[in-house]
Amino acid sequence: MNYRTQMEAAKKGIITKEMLSVAAKEHIKEEKIRESVACGRVAIPANIKHKSLSPEGIGEGLRTKINVNLGISGDSIDYTREMEKVDLAIKFGVEAIMDLSNYGKTNTFRTQLISRSPAMIGTVPMYDAIGYLEKDLMDIKAADFLKVVEAHAEEGVDFMTIHAGINRRAVECFKRSKRLTNIVSRGGSLLFAWMEMTGNENPFYEYYDEFLEILREYDVTISLGDALRPGSINDSSDAGQLSELIELGNLTERAWERDVQVMVEGPGHMAINEIAANMTIQKRLCHGAPFYVLGPLVTDIAPGYDHITSAIGGAIAASSGADFLCYVTPAEHLRLPDLEDVKEGIVASKIAAHAADIAKGIPGAREIDNKMSDARRRIDWEEMFSYAIDGEKARAYFESAPPAERHTCSMCGKMCAMRTTNKILAGEKVEFCSENKQ
């Protein structure tokens, strides 16, 4: 193998087995995938040590991908339950899982996750630093952060969120902006605290080239974290968010120069009327790199329903250029999600992603909708359940109030519009009274 990363191979004109896999899944020519990886508009996160991976492409012209966050915290230490969430995510076909565990020694769970998951695996090394190193935040050195990143790469992590853009310039801009919700990124807030307490520059920014060398060795995709993403619609599109985005654009080019694949992370909370413009600005400032968004949540007043506020924003964001949606569950802002929360978050995100793919004209995106509509016309329930994103729920709803006649549902009964029209077009009469007497 005369290349280290997917990007290096693509630049050399080599089509890797991962590119072939992505091309087949996306119904796109292999050469087109190679060209997109070479210029950075598509990333294929695929750590050379992740042997169970089913490669996926993220970026321009491809299906919108979904990420599921999970992991333990100090208030909820149950690895078995988190692995059940993994199994659920795989069952629903999500393309990525991020292990955000932030308590104790997390490598055992992460190693098991990587060994069994066909989905790409992501982490935020900053979360793991304190538990892994067993040091207080202020006592951690730049070399320690490098050590954690290398440990995650060695384990087989496919992409890592690195908050390299929150440097001293971005911090000063944040302080001047007088935000309503300040910094809501967990990793960003920890780095901000470290910088303020030590008086040092962000180590991920200061030693960026050293981090890139580690990522390049294992072909880990860097996901440039948005430490200053808005945590309320009041703070969206402010100077802090945009100043960091400018830094991320520069860091994107520096990574590409070293053949490290890049994704760029985005908001956050944002009013509907700002979303499309933000997608355009990000793509411009970050040179077309794949864009990974959390939401955005389009209102701040729906705790318990933020999978819906996120799906609204995610559909708009993806149809306007975002490539990768991080799911949000009903438990967002309230607690660690349980299994049902995870399911609700996955389904909401899949709806948003699919709706956006239809709007973007992604090849084949409409086909399953057309199949569903045809099955509805024929009133074939089993076929409808097979096409549904959550067929089990659809079946349970239908069977909870079964109709007297199978070729209807309990809402319309024999007045079903499909049934009525089918009968007339077949040359039959529609006679409700006489049918009821029989």
- Residues within the annotated binding site for Zn(2+)? 269, 333
Q: What's the helix, strand, coil split of the chain in %, to 5?
A: 55, 10, 40
3-state secondary structure of 371: helix
| Binding site feature residues for substrate | 69, 98, 127, 163, 185-187, 226-229, 265, 292
390, 393, 430: which is closest to 413 by C-alpha? 430
| Binding site feature residues for [4Fe-4S] cluster | 409, 412, 416
Q: Say how far apart CA 329 and CA 337 lie, in whole Å.
A: 7
3-state secondary structure of 99: strand
3-state secondary structure of 329: coil
Residues 214/153, Cβ–Cβ less than 8 Å: yes
- Identify the H or E element spanning 84: helix 79-91
C-alpha radius of gyration, the chain, whole number: 24
Q: How many CA atoms lie within 13 A of 158 on its CB side?
A: 31
| Binding site feature residues | 69, 98, 127, 163, 185-187, 226-229, 265, 269, 292, 333, 409, 412, 416
Give the pair of three-digit tokens for residue 384: 């409808």
Give the pair of three-digit tokens for residue 134: 């067993």
3-state secondary structure of 338: coil
3-state secondary structure of 341: helix
Q: Say how far apart CA 186 and CA 321 lie, in whole Å.
A: 26
Q: Say how far apart CA 3 and CA 16 lie, in whole Å.
A: 10
Q: Which residues contact 69 (CB under 8 A, 6 or more apart)?
A: 97, 98, 100, 326, 327
